Structure 1
Amino acid sequence: MNKDLPFEETAKPMVSIIIPCYNHVRYIIRTLESVIADNYPNKEIILINDGSKDESDAVIRQWLSTAAQKEPITYINRLNKGICATLNQMIDLARGKYILPLASDDCLYGNNIAKRVAILEAHPNKSVLLNDAFVIDDDDKVIMQSSSTNYWKADKAQYENDDDILKECIKTPRIAGPVIFYRKNIFDLIGKFPEDIGFEDWYFYQRAASLKLIIFVDLKVALYRLHGNNFSGANSPHGIKIAKSTLKVYKRNFWFYPGLKYKMLALKCYLRVLAWYIKLRLKREK
Structure 2
Amino acid sequence: MPTHAAARPLVSVLIPAYNHERFVQHCLDSVLEDPYPAKEIVIIDDGSTDRTGEKIAEWIKAQGHLLRVEYVQRENRGISAAWNELAARARGEFLRLCASDDYLLPGGLEAQVRYLQTHPTKRVVVGDSIVVDQYANKLHDSGMRDLHHADKRLYSSDEGIRQAVISQWAIGGPVALLHKSALETIGRWTEGLRIDDWDFFLRVAARDALGFIDVHVGAYRLHGNNVSKTRHTATRIVNLTEACQVARRRADLFDEPHRTLLKAQAHYICAKIAFLQKRLFVLTFHMLVYLALLAVSKLRACPMSTHGPRRNLFARKTRRSEGAYVDT
The interval holding the TM-score normalised by the smaller chain is over 0.9
C-alpha displacement at 1:45, in angstroms?
A: 0.5
The runs of at least 4 aligned residues of structure 1 exceeding 6 Å deviation read none
| Residues 199 and 249, structure 1, Cα contact 8 Å, conserved in 2 | no
Per-residue CA deviation, residues 18-55 of structure 1 (Å, 9 max, x unaligned), is: 00001100000000000011121111100001111111
| Residues 240 and 277, structure 1, Cα contact 8 Å, conserved in 2 | yes
Q: Counterparts of 1:233 and 1:75 in 2: how far apart (Å)?
A: 28
Specify which of 2, 5, 8 is matched with residue 3 of structure 2.
5
SS, match of residue 170 in structure 2: coil
| Residues 95 and 178, structure 2, Cα contact 8 Å, conserved in 1 | yes
Aligned to 1:80: 76
Aligned to 2:217: 221
Specify which of 177, 180, 183 is matched with residue 176 of structure 2.
180
Structure 2 counterparts to residues 143-222 of structure 1, below 5 A: 143-222=139-218
Aligned to 1:89: 85
Specify which of 50, 63, 66 is matched with residue 67 of structure 1.
63
Percent same amino acid at aligned positions?
Answer: 32
Count of residues in correspondence between the two structures: 278
| Residues 42 and 86, structure 2, Cα contact 8 Å, conserved in 1 | yes
Structure 2 counterparts to residues 3-152 of structure 1, below 5 A: 4-6=2-4, 9-67=5-63, 69-152=65-148
C-alpha displacement at 1:276, in angstroms?
A: 2.4
Per-residue CA deviation, residues 123-182 of structure 1 (Å, 9 max, x unaligned), is: 111111111111111111112111111111111111111011101111132112211111
| Residues 195 and 228, structure 2, Cα contact 8 Å, conserved in 1 | no
C-alpha displacement at 1:275, in angstroms?
A: 2.7
Specify which of 245, 248, 266 is matched with residue 245 of structure 2.
248
C-alpha displacement at 1:280, in angstroms?
A: 3.5
Structure with greater contact order relative to length (CA < 8 Å, sep ≥ 6): 1
Which 5+ residue runs of structure 1 have no aligned equivalent?
A: none
RMSD in angstroms over aligned alpha carbons?
Answer: 1.7
Q: Counterparts of 2:197 and 2:50 in 1: how far apart (Å)?
A: 25
The range that moved more, 97-106 or 245-254, is 245-254
The range that moved more, 211-220 or 270-279, is 270-279
Which 5+ residue runs of structure 2 have no aligned equivalent?
A: 280-328
SS, match of residue 189 in structure 1: helix
Q: Match of 1:50, as an amino acid?
A: D
Give the alignment's TM-score, normalised by structure 1: 0.92
Q: Match of 2:253, as an amino acid?
A: F
Q: Match of 2:88, as an amino acid?
A: D
Higher Cα radius of gyration: 2
C-alpha displacement at 1:234, in angstroms?
A: 8.3
| Residues 51 and 77, structure 1, Cα contact 8 Å, conserved in 2 | yes
Residues 1:262 and 2:258 aligned together: yes
| Residues 138 and 227, structure 1, Cα contact 8 Å, conserved in 2 | yes
C-alpha displacement at 1:235, in angstroms?
A: 4.2
Q: CA, structure 1 residues 69+139, in 2 after alignment: closer, same or farther (shift >3 Å)? A: farther
Give the alignment's TM-score, normalised by structure 2: 0.81
Q: Match of 2:250, as an amino acid?
A: N
Per-residue CA deviation, residues 167-207 of structure 1 (Å, 9 max, x unaligned), is: 11111321122111111111111211111212211111111
Q: CA, structure 1 residues 274+90, in 2 after alignment: closer, same or farther (shift >3 Å)? A: same
